[in-house]
Structure 1
Amino acid sequence: MREINTDLITKTIEKMCIDANCFLNPDVENAICRGYEKETNTVAKDVLNNIIKNAEIARDEAVPICQDTGMAVVFLKIGQDVHISGGLLCDAVNEGVRRGYKNGYLRKSVVADPVRRGNTGDNTPAIIHTEIVEGDNIEITIAPKGFGSENMSAVKMLKPSDGLEGIIDFVVDTVKNAGGNPCPPLVIGVGIGGTFEKAAYLAKYALLRDVDSKNPDPYYADLENILLEKINRLDIGPQGFGGVTTALGINVETFPTHIAGMPCAVNINCHVTRHVTEKI
């Protein structure tokens, strides 16, 4: 049994919140650069060039890539041979987020009540997902999620008879209806199966994969390719100005489901698809 103190968790998350907001993931930046090279729409090409320059400035000056520094979504894979000491895990996570957003001068965007509002002033509470795994480590992933893209996401309880075409139509229609609102080019997570909430979780989790990765099941890898091709034919383009670069990647995740259902969720992310992973 390995003991991990909550102080270490807090310090790690504090740094990760700052890094995630200031340094764009290389896979996403490379995909944007590839989009720039193949883009034929001159306005779209200029937009992609500005996005690339913005990421470079953020990295060089250690400032946020986007003014919307998001709601902190934290994924924890906790080894079953770990004993956490020093306090409650959720308190340690939220303290790390609190310090990171304060010391990193990151915008605080969380309100205390969904209807009555009222900013909490420190970007907490975070959204925390935990999973018990083998080993004596804790793997932490921070994925700040801006709401320009989050607001364009959707869940639909499809029927089994809707089939693959129903899934394709739902995903493509969701992106089409979003238009330029979620700041394309996009990274899109798709969750299929499970229950209502599981599908949404899968779609969020799919955004943690590299944008160039493929589902290990060839059937769903093909679906990712089909969706990407159809979405990039929508002519939404970078920031909604038209072009062939509406999406940088589509990641599909699945889970077994009930005989009567086929839940499907689409979690849209903008070109600032942020996530950082550390293991302690």
Structure 2
Amino acid sequence: MLLDLREVEEICKTLYVQALKILPADIKAGFKELVRTETDATGRSILDTMIENIAVAERTKNILCQDTGIPIYNVVVGRDIEFDGAGLKRAIRTGCERATHEYSLRSSVVHPITRKNNQTSSGIRVPIIHVDFDEQPETVSIEMIPKGSGSENGSFLQMLLPSDGINAVKRFVIDRVIESGGRVCPPTIVGVGIGGTSDLCMHLAKIAATRPLGSVCSDEDGAKIETELSRAVNELGIGPQGLGGRSTSFAVHVEVAATHITQNPVAVNIQCHSARRARATITPGGIAFSS
């Protein structure tokens, strides 16, 4: 299958807007579950307000949050796909810029030194584009994630030693959740990366933070830590927006990678309650959009 880059451009524009306006169904279900289990009156009130904001945004076709974030596109290419790599990158960037212009979105992307904003949601090495490959025949998946400041400022890395043990990993995660408090707009998804190199570990944490609720780490030991930490963070009393309650986090998600015998990196990336994402799957039969 030959990948139509004009089609990719249009998809990337649509995905950006969709991600900003429609919260995925699993996150909506996560809110309902938190309301069911929240015992603090203030916490329940804040959750109700967040749910109303979600409904208003969808009803009025408005964005969920004013922060349009750093645009991230995750592309997975299956077997028997023919495409121009440089052209693909250009199509994604153009689609991102068109979304910002055609829908009057606030560009949150600036030069790191001059702070100049080109009002395109693009800049040096942005949008961030990850390309991977799998065995799906004649299938291309494009996921768009707008990563806002509230969900990026809660990012941490620690290069632990093997002798520190797994309890040091858990302690690091809990301490970072406490440190972040209400600044990361809880309830959150706490993404944890364990292993790899420093950069891979941070990437794993972001993959974990943007995984759908209800998904489980594919590694058995990682899945056990997910369960333990998910219980632990909701016993901290931070609550929605840091104002108290049990609903500090929808879940803790863990992703792991093999690492060096002399190190054990751990990273945390905390996703805010507006856990936005959108996906399109391209096959010979057409395009399917989802969240």
CA contact (8 A) 2:100 2:119 kept: no
Gaps of 5+ in 2: 283-291
Question: Partner amino acid for 1:131?
Answer: D
Cα distance, 1:159 vs structure 2: 0.8
Q: Which moved more, 1:65-74 or 1:75-84?
A: 75-84
Moved over 6 A (4+): none
Match of residue 100 from structure 1 = 99
**Inter-partner Cα distance in structure 2 for 1:254 and 1:243:** 30
Question: Partner amino acid for 1:55?
Answer: I
Partner residue of 2:119 out of 121, 125, 135: 121
The number of equivalent residue pairs is: 278
Match of residue 255 from structure 2 = 253
Match of residue 90 from structure 1 = 89
Give the 3-state SS of the residue equivalent to 1:212 in structure 2: coil
Partner residue of 2:165 out of 145, 163, 166: 163
Change (3 A) 1:181 1:86: closer
Aligned ranges 1:160-199 → 2 under 5 Å: 160-199=162-201
CA contact (8 A) 1:211 1:250 kept: no
Cα distance, 1:87 vs structure 2: 6.1
TM-score (norm 1): 0.95
TM-score (norm 2): 0.92
Gaps of 5+ in 1: none
Q: Give RMSD over aligned pairs.
A: 1.4
Aligned ranges 1:20-99 → 2 under 5 Å: 20-85=19-84, 88-99=87-98
**Inter-partner Cα distance in structure 2 for 1:191 and 1:101:** 31
Cα distance, 1:102 vs structure 2: 2.1
**Inter-partner Cα distance in structure 2 for 1:55 and 1:172:** 28
**Inter-partner Cα distance in structure 2 for 1:255 and 1:247:** 24
CA contact (8 A) 1:6 1:87 kept: no
Cα distance, 1:229 vs structure 2: 1.4
**Inter-partner Cα distance in structure 2 for 1:47 and 1:210:** 23
Give the 3-state SS of the residue equivalent to 1:259 in structure 2: coil
**Inter-partner Cα distance in structure 2 for 1:180 and 1:264:** 22
Change (3 A) 1:22 1:78: same
Cα distance, 1:106 vs structure 2: 2.0
**Inter-partner Cα distance in structure 1 for 2:101 and 2:92:** 14
**Inter-partner Cα distance in structure 1 for 2:97 and 2:165:** 44
Cα distance, 1:163 vs structure 2: 1.5
Give the 3-state SS of the residue equivalent to 1:171 in structure 2: helix
**Inter-partner Cα distance in structure 2 for 1:59 and 1:218:** 37
**Inter-partner Cα distance in structure 2 for 1:87 and 1:180:** 41
Q: Which whole-Å deviations, capped at 9, do the CAs of 1:214-253 have from their partners, x for residues lacking one?
A: 2233322221111111111111100010000000011101
**Inter-partner Cα distance in structure 1 for 2:259 and 2:221:** 17
**Inter-partner Cα distance in structure 1 for 2:210 and 2:236:** 25
Q: Which moved more, 1:217-226 or 1:89-98?
A: 217-226
